[in-house]
Structure 1
Amino acid sequence: MTVLVRVRLAVLERTIASGQVPTAGEIAADLDLPIAMVQEAYAKLGEAHVFVCDPDDPSRLRMASPFSAVPTAFRVSARGGSYYGNCVWDALGIVSLLGGEGSVETSCPDCSKALSLRVTGGKLAESGSVVHFSVPARRWWDDIVFT
């Protein structure tokens, strides 16, 4: 298994276990690798649009898709854990990744009405909600944090 794959899997495993996206130092300790090697892996995975690195700190991630390292408007509860998604798409992806049972708490960006999305048996329960992506998919990575 390559270092990139090992680092990616370790980040996902630690995030799932703790609810927090780990630092390069934590992953370096977990994998017994030099921190510089993990930071390089973070950068390469960022270039591949797998992770989004913190622009001010190469030892931190902003996003470890589908997980957010910072609080967002997309709070996920699944498999006994609590996580943040980067967007509703990622939030539902977290529920799927963790077995297809869970919920996403968010709010309507237009009227601020609280929204609760439930997933049971891998299927989204009817909520009457509509998802709108204001940025075309082909432009998401122009500024993925804004998107």
Structure 2
Amino acid sequence: MSISVEEGGPDLALLSDPQVRDALSALMNESRLAARWGGLSPETRQVHQEILRTFLTEGAPPAASEFRAETLADLAARDLVHVRDREIALAYPFSARPTDFRVRLRGVTIHAICAVDALGTAAMAGTAAEVTCVCPICRTGVDITVASDGFAVDHASRPEARVWTGVKDVGTCAADSQCKTMRLFCGPEHLAAWRRSQPPSARGFDLSLTQGVQLGAAIFRPFMQSPHDRAAS
């Protein structure tokens, strides 16, 4: 991958598991990374981080009117932040509306866009997080505590849970495409049942909870890092 961590690219140093590396390469190929981070100005990145910081501290996005329309349009073209009905609707990994993926950290509850987004929030925020993901088959809530380092599982109510990371064309918005196939299942049986309902051509990776956390950490940890943070890590 030609986009470095300093530019916002995934933190490959966090990954030793070859299956997670393969999943990351499939999800975040070079063209997608270049479209997302290539040529991003420091000012625009600062706005992106400010939006994420507000989600982390308030559980909701700031008003879109606080930012220049051109800056928000650039972030939307990069599929980082999307404004809908004149409000910030999503800023990966967060959704302004309730989802099946809830994160609690520092007393704040936030909704994530998909399972991997939820599992990667602790690494991005630099603190432990309590994650609840709803199995799409039985609607059981699976509770996971992600360690403060952001890439280990401290506790899971269903240790056998599986994380499916679907691989498909992203288009202009991953939340409307790829993210819909990135789910957490209460166990392998319900993942298998869900996969039988999908087209035979559907591709993806079947990951454990720990693997899902590590994938999310590699993607999202760089989002909030400053140059000083990256130099010290």
Please report the TM-score for the alignment, with normalisation by the length of structure 1.
0.77
Match of 1:44 among 68, 74, 86: 74
SS at match of 2:163: coil
C-alpha change, 1:5 and 1:71, in structure 2 (3 Å) is same
Alignment of 1:24-39 (within 5 A): 24-25=64-65, 27-28=66-67, 38-39=68-69
Q: Distance in 1 between matches of 2:170 and 2:62?
A: 24
1:101 equivalent to 2:128? Answer yes
Partner of 1:69: 96
> Retained in 2: the 8 A contact 1:79–1:99?
no
Query: Mind listing any 5+ residue stretches in structure 1 that lack a counterpart?
Result: 29-37
Moved over 4 A (4+): none
Q: CA deviation at 1:65?
A: 0.9
Q: Distance in 2 between matches of 1:105 and 1:142?
A: 28
Which structure shows the higher helix fraction?
Answer: 2
> Retained in 2: the 8 A contact 1:53–1:63?
yes
Q: Distance in 2 between matches of 1:9 and 1:118?
A: 24
> Retained in 1: the 8 A contact 2:79–2:172?
no
Query: Mind listing any 5+ residue stretches in structure 2 that lack a counterpart?
Result: 1-40, 181-233
Q: CA deviation at 1:142?
A: 5.7
Aligned length: 132
Q: Distance in 1 between matches of 2:45 and 2:54?
A: 14
Alignment of 1:82-97 (within 5 A): 82-97=109-124
1:53 equivalent to 2:53? Answer no
Q: Distance in 1 between matches of 2:122 and 2:116?
A: 10
- The alignment's C-alpha RMSD in Å is 2.1
1:9 equivalent to 2:41? Answer no
1:144 equivalent to 2:174? Answer yes
Aligned-residue sequence identity (percent) comes to 26
Please report the TM-score for the alignment, with normalisation by the length of structure 2.
0.51
